[in-house]
Amino acid sequence: AQSVTQLGSHVSVSEGALVLLRCNYSSSVPPYLFWYVQYPNQGLQLLLKYTSAATLVKGINGFEAEFKKSETSFHLTKPSAHMSDAAEYFCAVRSQGNLIFGKGTKLSVKP
């Protein structure tokens, strides 16, 4: 069965600092992986996706993620945090056409 694990339910960074949100996956087949962002009282917005092409994936709002098969990881990074990045972030793996989500990581950005 496929699954994702997000390490750290809450991450706090200062404005301008590096953002690193961790995601590890378990999959018996080459995975399709996604990062979504959820702002308070809103739905999910797709940040980026990995579909077995380039291992370094660039997304919206300056985010990127690197697929590392040897580490079964798909961590999300952004070089410089902005106040507007404060939100909850979900990693997901595609399973038979649908998505299995992690429990989410809430990102706080301090001024």
Partner 1 sequence: DAGVTQSPTHLIKTRGQQVTLRCSPKSGHDTVSWYQQALGQGPQFIFQYYEEEERQRGNFPDRFSGHQFPNYSSELNVNALLLGDSALYLCASSLHDLYEQYFGPGTRLTVT
Check the CA dihedral 75-19-105-10 and report its sign: positive
Concatenating the DSSP letter of every residue in 33-101 gives EEEEEE-TT--EEEEEEE-SS-SEEE-GGG-EEEEETTTTEEEEEESS--GGG-EEEEEEEEETTEEEE
Q: Which lies closer to partner 1 via its Cβ, residue 17 or residue 95?
A: 95
Per-residue string for binding with partner 1, 37-76, x by CB under 8 A? ----xxxxxx--x-x-------------------------
Least distance between partner 1 and beta carbon 25 (Å)? 13
Give the span between the Cα atoms of 36 and 5, in whole angstroms: 14
Least distance between partner 1 and beta carbon 97 (Å)? 3
For residue 84, state whether it binds partner 1 (rule: CB under 8 A). no
Segment lying near partner 1 (by CB under 8 A), choices 16-24, 36-44, 60-68, 74-82: 36-44
Q: Which lies closer to partner 1 via its Cβ, residue 12 or residue 52?
A: 52
- CA geometry: angle 62, 64, 67, nearest 5 deg: 175
Rule CB under 8 A: which residues touch partner 1? 32, 34, 36, 41-46, 49, 51, 90, 92, 94, 96-104
